[in-house]
Each structure stands twice: as C-alpha cells, then as structure tokens.
Structure 1
Amino acid sequence: MLVEDNPDDAELTRRLLRRICQDRDIFLAADAEEALRCLEGLHDEGAGLPDLMLLDIKLPRLSGMELLERLKGSPKFRGIPVVMLTGSIVSEHIQRSYDLGAVTYLLKPISEDDLLLTLSYLT
C-alpha cells in the first residue's frame, strides 16, 4: 500500500512498485483517512492486509506519523511493516518514525535501488 498525497510522487513510486512487484496488488491512498478506510475494508472482507505500507510523513488532515501511531496501536494492523517517506532528513522526524514502529524511511523521490534494497531487507 502506498499512502501519498502528491500525485507526481505517487505516480513515480507506483511505477517503481509495479516494475519491482509485478505479481502484487498495489493499493494507493491519497491521505491517511483513505488508507484507514481501505485497511478496514480489507480486514472486514477477510482479504489479506498489505505486506508493506509506504507512508508519506506529511499528509493533509491526519499526518503520516499519526497514522503510523494508530496502526502500531491496533492489534489488527500493527503487523504491517511501515516504511516512512520523506522529502527531508529532519532527524526528529526520522527518530520519531522509528520510535513509533516504522521499519525504515526512504527519501523522496524514491530510487529503484533504494526500494529494491528495502524490499529485500523486509522479505
């Protein structure tokens, strides 16, 4: 699942994911609330939850950090590995991401090599 509000970043990342993970469904949410609705729907339908979430830190209304905190506080969703996406290297954001349970973070725009390395680490 990709949670990204910037259409250009979302399209670039989606293309990379499709190229790397050809046999996987890719769910795209434009904000944290849409991501939560999608996760709840998948859970309620008995469908499998995402193997990974790429989550933008800066989202409208509910931030990526707030969504991460909710996910890791939920027995239903805490097992989803979350990779935070950021356009800057603000050390407080990075440390807070790890404190809340993110597995790592990637700088935007995401490179194919960084994404491949992250995916190989998580599988």
Structure 2
Amino acid sequence: MKPAFLPYQPASEFFTDELCYITELSNSPADEAMSVALARVAPGVTTRWHSLHNTAERYVILSGQGVAEIGDEAPRAVGPHDVILIPAGCRQRIRNTGSDDLLFYAICTPRFLPENYLDLEAG
C-alpha cells in the first residue's frame, strides 16, 4: 500500500440487489487488505440474507436505528456507534426500524470482491 487520499464521492452511490445503497470509500487492488463502504438502508427496508465467502465484515453504525441479524444470534437492536462483527461465511441482514436512513460503514477484510457475495435468498 502507498500513501493516498481518497476523496468522498457521493455521486458514486449505487443501489444493490441486497436492497441497500452503497458508496465505495476505499476498495481497490491498491489496498487488498481492507475495503470501506458507506451503506444506506431506507426506512422500513430489510436487506436480503447474505454472506461473504472468505471475507470478514464489520458494521459501524453512524446514524439511524435498526435490527441486525447475524448467524444464529437473536436479532439485536442497533444504533449510532454500535459495532457488529460478522465472521466470513456468516449469514447476515439488517433492518431499518427508524424513520430516517440507517447509515453505517461496512469494513471488509480482505477487501470486498463481488464474487465473494452469496445471496442466501436466491431461488
């Protein structure tokens, strides 16, 4: 890795099949060890059950209220400054229970690669 400044680019936000919006803040071969994305879930939306093969993930809640479901753990209410640890291969989803967007950082190690994403609701 080399020193770099990565400016925030809000216009790069995109909607995913997982039912959330993603802005990649850092995800490139220049830093294979980690990626950081800003995730946004609209009020009332629950993301699809999914897992990440060979990729651990952490959610750092920035704002909003939600309920996270991770593996076989009981659903847990989450809010600002909560951190959720998601081991590689662990099923996960999150629901926005508030009236404002649920915003959180999704930090992946190693970096997120689309081929490691597994939709657990696909028929």
Scaled by the length of structure 2, the TM-score of the pair is 0.29
Q: Which has the higher strand share?
A: 2
Q: Per chain length, whose mean CA-contact separation is higher, i.e. which structure has more relative contact order (CA < 8 Å, sep 6+)?
A: 2
Higher helix share: 1
Q: Scaled by the length of structure 1, what TM-score is found?
A: 0.29
